[in-house]
Amino acid sequence: MTDGSLSGYKLVWRDEFDGASVNTSEWHYRTGERFWSTQRPENVSVAAGKLRLALKKEKFGASEYTAGGIISKREFKFGFYEARIKMPRGKGWHTSFWMMRNSNDRDQELDVCEQDSINPNDYTTNVHAYKPAHKALVVDTRDVANVPLGDASIWLTSIAGPLGKTDKVDDSALPAFAEFDYVRFFEKAESDEAQMKRNAAGKVSGCVRNGTYTYKGIPYAAPVAGAARFMPPAKPKPWAGVRSSLQYGQVSPQVARTGWANDEEAWLFSWDDGIPGEDCLRVNVWMPGINDNKKRPVMVWLHGGGFQAGSGQDGDACGQRVVSQSHCAKRFGLAHGATRNFVESRGSGVV
């Protein structure tokens, strides 16, 4: 594809690298030491419609080589990611087009293309899960639509390192460049009916599956971490544009349920412990139709768990107008502070 179109999808974000420099309103620079190289902003440039990462034999700090990369400031979820890349010549360089959150609080890593220059005709595709423990899976093709995925940035990088059984860098091939012609992100195209009207914080889009319009993980309150912990909930921060609502949000931190050990019990109750976190005040909506001027009864389902466990994703709804929500469990929502700062904290999880 060269025109930015993809059947069945809509293009929602792109960088064609047509300017004279990196658009720093859209990108962070990757910096710091990794394996054999230190990544520097000075090694990143835009010229002739391409992003160029300079790979050099250059002493910097403890490294003998320098390289570079950029990380998108915008975060994405499920969709179609596309880039066109020219890999560097000479062994020693690991060039990647991949997605991961640019912080230690990450759920998953999607490696669309990882290429070690020691094997110029080969590349790998990987999925890494970071919660509850790091686990990597090398794949050729995998549908990850049902795998929990937190927000992730796009990374365009090249580093020197011992990956792919590389023993050293071929200094005779330096300086070299990894070049990216463009990068694009597409979302699955849905009918206009799959987009809800604006709520208090902004517009959201969902999907239609088996005739049921589904919207998941819509914030109904702000995150409750840090100074907001144990306090009454605040309004969610408004967002611009249309927020994709295809995946459940976080669930309140809790002890994993032992029912997972019983296959029939887990199936019967559709248990899914999800991804724990304090940005868990989310609502999920299922309905048989929208924008048809029909009035329908609404069932609001509050999950069980004795205020100790559970979330609004404990079981899907099909064909009915149903709303489920997640709230803060255990001490995160039901603790009562005796100090002045927390006099209103009691029961703040039940909102």
Structure tokens at 141: 């093709």
Classify residue 3: in a domain, yes or no: no
Classify residue 17: in a domain, yes or no: yes
Instruction: Note whether 198 and 178 are same-domain residues.
Output: no
Predicted confidence at residue 327, as pLDDT, reads: 64
Instruction: Note whether 183 and 205 are same-domain residues.
Output: no
Which of the residues in the chain have pLDDT under 70? Answer: 1-3, 137-149, 190-200, 257-262, 265-272, 292-293, 315-322, 327-351
Rounded distance between C-alpha atoms, residue 6 and residue 1, angstroms? 8
Predicted confidence at residue 339, as pLDDT, reads: 45
Predicted confidence at residue 114, as pLDDT, reads: 96
Return the SS3 of 223. Answer: coil
Instruction: Note whether 288 and 160 are same-domain residues.
Output: no
Domain count within the chain: 2
Calculate the CA dihedral of residues 309, 212, 75, 275 and round it to 10 degrees.
Answer: 20
Please, where are the H alpha helices in the chain? 263-268, 331-334
Predicted confidence at residue 319, as pLDDT, reads: 44
Please, where are the H alpha helices in 160-269? 263-268
The model's pLDDT over 45-97, given as tens digits with 9 standing for 90+, comes to: 999 999 999 999 999 999 999 999 999 999 988 788 999 999 999 999 999 99
Instruction: Note whether 268 and 335 are same-domain residues.
Output: yes
Instruction: Note whether 61 and 30 are same-domain residues.
Output: yes
Give the domain-ending residue among 136, 169, 188: 188
Give the domain-ending residue among 148, 163, 188: 188
Classify residue 94: in a domain, yes or no: yes
Contact criterion met (CB below 8 Å) for 196 and 203: yes
Give the domain-ending residue among 156, 172, 188: 188
CB neighbour list of residue 185: distance below 8 Å, 6 or more residues apart: 11, 12, 13, 14, 76, 79, 80, 81, 82, 154
Instruction: Note whether 134 and 210 are same-domain residues.
Output: no
Q: Please name which of 98, 123, 95, 101 lies closest in space to residue 110, comparing C-alpha atoms.
A: 98
Tell me which residue range forms the domain holding 297.
192-342
